[in-house]
Amino acid sequence: QVWTYLRANEVPYNALLDQGYKSVGDYHSTRPVKAGEDERAGRWEGSEKTECGLHKDYFAMRAAFMARKKNQEAATSAQLTTVA
C-alpha cells in the first residue's frame, strides 16, 4: 500500500532504498543492511551514534519536486507547441 501511494501521488523517495538501504544517512556512515538485520543496522556501524543531526524538511523537498515537475511539463508543452 505504501509503494502504491508513493507512485500514485508522485512522492519523492531516495533511490538508495532500491539498492538495499533501509535507513539512509550520510555516505560515510551508511551501508545497505543484510538479510535479517534491523533496518537501522546499516547506520553508524561500530558507533554509539544513531543520527547525523541533519534532516531535510519534507515539505520543502516536496515543493521543490513539484516546481521541477511543473517546469519540465511546461518545457515539454512548449516543445510540442513549437513542433506543431
Q: Which amino acid is at 51?
A: E
Q: Is-catalytic flag, 52?
A: yes
Q: Residue 48 and residue 15: Cα distance in Å, rounded?
A: 27
Select which of 52, 63, 67, 78 is catalytic: 52
Buried b (16+ CB within 10 A) or exposed e, 36-58: eeeeeebbbeeeeeeeeeeeeee
| DSSP 8-state symbol, 34 | P
60 DSSP β-pair partners: none
Looking at the annotation, which residues are catalytic? 52
